[in-house]
Amino acid sequence: MPKSDDRPIGVFDSGVGGLSILIELKKLLPHENFVFLADQKYVPYGEKTKKELVNLCVNITDYFVKKYDIKMMVVACNTATCYSIKELRQKFKIPIVGTEPAVKPAAQNTRTGVIGIISTPATSKSKTIKRLITDFTHGTEVINIGCQNLENVVEEGDLSSSKVKALLDKYLSEIKNSKADRLVLGCTHYPFLRETIQKRVGGKVKLIDSGKAIAKHTKFLVIKNRFKNKQAGRGKTTYFTTGNAQRFSKVASKLLGAKVVAFQAKL
Ligand code: DGL
């Protein structure tokens, strides 16, 4: 019988968006311990260069490995995955799960042959998104929109103000005026805007994010690597931010619907 492994799983994003992935991870892996880090000192990642992103992501992974002895890392950020996953996997020995926009299921399930993708400016221009489109959307029309500032409103805990609606109307207009019936939420902040987005694009457009798929893959790797935490009770999650801990705690508590008390991380 393999032993129980109580080391935590590291999860990070530029900000609160990664919590949308953490929610799914905790549902599928309730006995695991997690350390979550929001790199809010440097949010938004969507407007950074590859070099900057690789540096930030390497530093965070290094911090988690050295300070918390994580057994695995989940990069709960599409932008960070697009620009740094290769370098992270080269540098660190632990298994690293990335988050990529759910282009494949959208293209597989569209009935109209038109799909939309919204993501950060960096993700929308990345080689990764180009590869996903080339590999999985043959014969499908793709409307690929990079959105500035959408992650920032979620960072403020603002999910449905007139400012948010105006931003969404701007970015979703092309998709709304098309035959698209699938919309990929290609940034982990966007699932928190789901209701507001759904109202803007109408009920015929199905919104697709990667949260459940990431959790499923993480669970698969936990089992494969014999990393299972066999404690009977629920796992513990510790939250960190490189920004303001009080501010993160307030917004995270709102998004998770449960009290979060975060700590300041000094990398
Ligand atoms: N949540 C991140 C993503 O999935 C990035 C948001 C940002 O910092 O720009 O891409």
Residue 8: pLDDT over 80: yes
Q: 54 C-alpha to center of ligand 1: Å?
A: 14
Q: 226 C-alpha to center of ligand 1: Å?
A: 31
Residue 223: pLDDT over 80: yes
| The predicted structure's pLDDT at residue 267 | 87
Q: Among 41, 120, 149, 242, which residue has the most ligand 1 atoms within 8 Å of its CB, making it the best to mutate? A: 120
Residue 200: pLDDT over 90: yes
The H or E element spanning position 129 is: helix 127-136
| The predicted structure's pLDDT at residue 3 | 85
For the CA of 46, the nearest atom of ligand 1:
9
Mean pLDDT of 180-206: 98
| The predicted structure's pLDDT at residue 63 | 97
Residue range 24-72, pLDDT digits in tens: 999 999 999 999 999 999 999 999 999 999 999 999 999 999 999 999 9
Residues 6+ apart with CB under 8 A from 93: none
Whole-model pTM: value is 0.97
**What percent of the chain shows pLDDT beyond 90?**
98
Distance CA 61, CA 116 (A): 32
Q: 151 C-alpha to center of ligand 1: Å?
A: 6
| The predicted structure's pLDDT at residue 208 | 98
Residue 168: pLDDT over 90: yes
187 is catalytic: yes
Mean pLDDT of 117-121: 97
| The predicted structure's pLDDT at residue 2 | 65
Per-residue confidence band for 255, with pLDDT thresholds at 50, 70 and 90: very high
C-beta separation of 173 from 186 below 8 A? no
For the CA of 186, the nearest atom of ligand 1:
4
Residue 1: pLDDT over 80: no
Q: Among 11, 12, 14, which residue has the most ligand 1 atoms within 8 Å of its CB, making it the best to mutate? A: 14
C-beta separation of 164 from 196 below 8 A? yes
Distance CA 158, CA 161 (A): 6
57 is catalytic: no
Q: 124 C-alpha to center of ligand 1: Å?
A: 11
Angle at 107 between CA 102 and CA 113, to 5 degrees: 145
Residue 173: pLDDT over 90: yes
